[in-house]
Amino acid sequence: MAILKILTIPNDILKQISSPVDVIDNGVKKLIADMCDTMKSSSHCVGIAAPQVGVLSRIIAVDVSLNMKPHKNNGLLIMINPEIVYSSGKLKSREGCLSVPDFTGNVTRKAKIEVKYLDINGEKKILKTSGFESIVLQHEIDHLDGFLFLDRVSSLKTDVFKRI
């Protein structure tokens, strides 16, 4: 497959809302395969969204098992048109992003979520998850709506850190 170029801030595409995927054809499947290759080729990367590679389609790929620390997880998740339908609790964690390569930030997100989506075969699915996987899914779904983690920090002065 291919390693795709990651868009970084201040690219305007990263601030746009992505369109739903109506048909899961070979082009969509190739994009997903390329996104997965790109994610796996990037050190410490556990998720990627189509807008990060310049495609304004509602597609994300997440695999928190790629993280060095063990986490309860569902392995590789491909989500087309993901929508959070339930959330509860709060979790604060340090987030990084391929599209914001020079900084990390403290972000508060929901601790538990339920996501409905289509898988790569077009089947409707619902996933309930929590903890780190929940955080990563929220981070990637934010990309589909034109949000970066920098938009979610409480204070740019106290919650954003230069990546070392």
Catalytic residue list:
140
Give the Cβ contact number of residue 134 at 10 Å: 24
Whether the Cβ atoms of residue 51 and residue 7 lie closer than 8 Å to each other: yes
d(CA 8, CA 102): 10
- Specify the DSSP class assigned to residue 22: -
* Peptide bond connecting 101 to the previous residue in cis, omega within 30 degrees of 0: no
H-helix segments, the chain: 26-41, 131-144
User: Tokens in use for 163?
Assistant: 């990546």
Residue 114: strand pairing partners: 86, 128
